[in-house]
Amino acid sequence: MPTRIFKVAEARARFSHLLTRAKEGEEIMITKGSEPQARIVPPAAAAQREAAPLKHLDLPDDLFDHEDAEQAAIDAGDYSDTLGIWRGPPKAS
């Protein structure tokens, strides 16, 4: 697809439209006078990552089925970083 040329003022007024055109694969050159200032190009194709199979690890099916008291305490803010241990529920005053 050929490069389309737009002057700065026109590009500013139609910026959203130009982005849509670039997303569809068109390359756009923005000029000031006759001097190129910028270029809007289509986005690069996103790389697809393959899922990392975990079957070889032989993890149990119920690995995350039970509640982890220490993790629950960390999530609730009852975990002491200085000691690195869970102190249990707060004592009643």
pLDDT at 91 (0 to 100)? 67
Report the topology of domain 4-40: YefM-like fold (3.40.1620)
Strand ranges (E), 1-93: 4-7, 28-32, 35-40, 79-80, 85-86
DSSP H stretches of helix in the chain: 8-13, 15-23, 69-76
pLDDT at 65 (0 to 100)? 75
Domain boundaries, the chain: 4-40
**How many other C-beta atoms can be found within 10 angstroms of the C-beta atom of residue 6?**
19
Beta partners for 80?
Answer: 85
C-alpha–C-alpha distance, residues 12 and 19, integer Å:
11
Per-residue pLDDT of the chain (93 residues; tens, 9 = 90+): 678 999 999 999 999 999 999 989 899 999 999 999 999 998 887 666 777 777 778 877 777 777 777 777 777 776 665 556 666 666 666
